[in-house]
Structure 1
Amino acid sequence: MKILCLFDYASADRSWERWQNKLERESPEHHLWGITHLHKYGIYVDVLPYEKLSLIKRIGEKLKIGDLDQQLRVIFLAHNYDLIYSTCQTSTLLLALLRIIGIFRTPLVVKLERPFNKNKLNQILVKLFAQAHDKILCLSSKTENRLKNDFGVDKNKLALLDWGPDLPSYDDYEFPRYDIGDRKVFVSAGNESRDYNTLVQAFNEVDSPLKIYCAKKSAPTVNLITPNITIQYSQRETLALAWKAISWQELLSEYAKAYAITIPLYIPPHRINTTPLYGVTSLLDAMAMGKPVIMTKHRQANIDVEKEKIGLWVEPGDVKGWKQAVNYLLEHPEEAQEMGNRGRILAEQKYNLEIFGSQLARALKTSAIAVEGKLNFGLKN
């Protein structure tokens, strides 16, 4: 079986090339959404280059029909593949339309990271979305259940995948070990929908260091920032992933020395039940590194940090709640360490790239079988 994979960010091209050539990683391999493991299941992958004609790409953005540059190239290449796998739910809207009217015949599978609000317009749009795709890959049980219960999507169209870290991406490096006698440093990193203002206000009243790594546009803007807080950001924001203040390997070293990882998210009230999976990448980092987490409560995340006893939730925008959570971990170092240990065990047992890759392979193969009527793809039990 041969598939064509589409990404919505340019750095995927470089990551895929580095993985193929067995070069040192610049990011963890789970950022390639499972394609690194598909060869184990007889699925061979080509990655469509992110950009060929930037003008066509901008036209697609203006028309709100997804990545037109990629989609036009897919139309001419699709006959070479058993299936198209899109890692972004909005990149292939034109192909989806052509799939509905029967012009585009190649099976189309899409990854979906967030649920939809139930309203009349979405009832129509989700019905068309489901009709256009042969399989919808859900990264959250809440997303899967709402598609079934609120929108009546056929359960056979859906697959729940447990996204998790590629543990060798972390274990192949040697990091300084944290000494519980050292001053307890909290680390926070990321750019998308981060609420660093709330986090900084909490740490203004906490006697413990906080290190923030972000982009200039997401850096905290509060007037008072106490000396225990350091903020590092990149000025470059024109290229994909250029926001990163430090390299991924450097960030892992900071995580290794951290007492805990904080993930403050900006979640406005109207997005409480439809927030994309912001912050989950940082959560996976924490689990892989065996660190406890404090995270803004994310109702779409498939990993409940409090239920799994790997960290603490804080309600959106709750300065007092952040202060209490930080102080709790500071006052209970043994429990904090156990949270980190449980996170790592959870990653080893359930949430990891090996399991995600096997789930993805099954979903892709069953999609192709359903469309083409092929019965001999060697599915494993």
Structure 2
Amino acid sequence: MKVYFYHTQDIQHILQQIEKQEFPPHFLYGATLFSKHGVDVVWHKSKLNQSRWKMMVRTTWRILTCKESFDAVYATHYRGLELIVFLRALHLFRKPVIVWHHQPIIKSPSKWREWLGKLFYKGFDELFFFSQKLVNDSCKTAKYPPQKMHLGHWGADLKFYDSIRHQTQRTKGFISTGKELRDMPTLIKAFNATNAPLDIYINEQNGDVNYNKVFANLTLNDNIKVHQWNRLAPYELALEVNKANCVVICCQESKYTVGLTTVVEALALGLPIICSRNPQIPIDFDKDGCGISVPYYDVENWTKAIDYITQNPTEATAMGARGRALAEREYNNEKCAEVVTQVIKKYDKKA
């Protein structure tokens, strides 16, 4: 069996970096391991920085004119794939479309948009979600069959991080990485109050947010260092994360899994985590014993969590170990590939 793999990122660049062991393979959502499960891959040729419509037209054209035969489309996101999805909904595209859905399916207050949405979701043969909460919330809309919604067990490629874990000593204190919907005011105020060392690695600009302007309006004590990081370099960032004693993920409230990429990296590296309490994330840090969750925008409880990690290094180390064990059991690239290919192979005509 063979799938056409679609991603919104530069697949060819990622594959080249994976070959050099400088990029974590889980950014390709298990696809690099599909061959172990009897599924081959046709890689979409990406072109970045296009408008939404140009991306949709180009993606549709590449799929419809692909010279290699394939049995299904497997995509990490439906952005850019919308025309194929509508063609599938209208029975004008014959191959199954299997996609990762990053947010809960929602009900629109507009009757027209709700009708269009129901038509759109008929174009998906199977959907993968990052957490059971996203699945449960999506079921409430009655817009898509629950039996076709799956928990994907997306997680880090443990072999990639094993090559990093023993390279450096952990001497850096706390670290914050990631760029999406980060709540820097709450994080800065909490670390100003504790005087614990914090390194922040973040892009200067993310979407409409200019973090330089955000930091300009905040007072940063000497214990806080900000490092601008304007290119996608997960390997270099992972080396810095591995020097830290704890990962902090302070985010704004949202309806999707903001911070999950940082979470799975921390689990793989065996590091304790302090994270905003995002119910969409599949890990319960407190219950699973791998970290501390803090309500959104709660400076006081962020301060307490930082102090707890600082004052209890033995327990912090144990949290990291429990997190690594959780990654090995539930959230890793191997398990993701296994779960996804089980669903994909339902559409194997030769089976």
Q: TM-score under structure 1 normalisation?
A: 0.84
User: Which residue is 1:239 aligned to?
Assistant: none
Separation (CA, whole Å) in 1 of partners of 2:302 and 2:115? 40
Query: Counterpart of 2:154 in structure 1: which amino acid?
Result: W
Structure 2 residue corresponding to 1:301, chosen from 281, 302, 309: 281
Within the alignment, does 1:107 sit opposite 2:107 as a pair?
no
Does residue 250 (structure 1) correspond to residue 236 (structure 2)? The answer is yes
Residues 189-204 of structure 1: pairs in structure 2 closer than 5 A: 189-204=177-192
Helix, strand or coil: the match of 1:328? helix
Q: Distance in 1 between matches of 2:67 and 2:97?
A: 10
Residue 258 of structure 2 corresponds to residue 278 of structure 1: yes
- The answer for the alignment partner of 2:203 in structure 1 is 215
The alpha-carbon deviation at position 149 of structure 1 amounts to 3.2
Structure 2 residues without counterparts, runs of 5 or longer? 206-210
Q: What does the per-residue CA deviation read over 1:53-101, in whole Å, with 9 as the maximum and x for residues that have no partner? A: x7xx42606xxxx632112211222872101111113221111111122
- 2:76 corresponds, among 87, 99, 124, to 87
Partner of 2:208: none
1:339 aligns with 2:319: yes
* Deviation digits for residues 278-333 of structure 1 (CA, Å, limit 9, x no counterpart): 21011011101111000111111111111211111111111112111111111222
Q: CA deviation at 1:359?
A: 0.3
Residue correspondences, number: 341
1:233 paired with 2:232, answer no
Which of 346, 349, 355 is residue 335 of structure 2 equivalent to?
A: 355
Deviation at 1:208, TM superposition (A): 1.2
TM-score between the two structures when normalised by the length of structure 2: 0.90
The one-character-per-residue Cα deviations of 1:101-149 (angstroms, maximum 9, x if unpaired) are 2211111111111103434446535422331111111121112122223
Q: Distance in 2 between matches of 1:336 and 1:125?
A: 49
Aligned in 2, Cα 1:332/1:125: closer, same or farther, shift over 3 Å?
Answer: farther
Q: Deviations over 1:23-81 (max 9, x none)?
A: 322221101111011001111001111129x7xx42606xxxx6321122112228721
- State the alpha-carbon separation in 2 of the partners of residues 111 and 92 from structure 1: 12
Q: Is the 8 A contact 2:75 2:99 kept in 1?
A: yes
Return the offset for 1:152. Answer: 4.9
- Asked if 1:71 corresponds to 2:71, the answer is no
What whole-Å deviation, never above 9, does each CA across 1:161-219 have from its counterpart, x for those lacking one? 111111000112332233xxx6x610011111111221111111112110000011335
Distance 1:331 1:18 in 2: 39
**1:113–1:140 contact (8 Å) kept in structure 2:** no
Query: Following the alignment from structure 2 to structure 1, what is the Cα–Cα distance between the partners of residues 120 and 22?
Result: 34
1:176 to 160, 168, 171: 168
CA distance in 1, matches of 2:260, 2:301: 20
The answer as to 2:155 corresponding to 1:164 is yes
- Secondary structure of 1:151's counterpart equals coil
2:29 aligned residue (11, 33, 43): 33
The CA distance in 2 between the partners of 1:51 and 1:322, in whole Å, is 41
Counterpart pick for 1:44 among 22, 30, 40 = 40
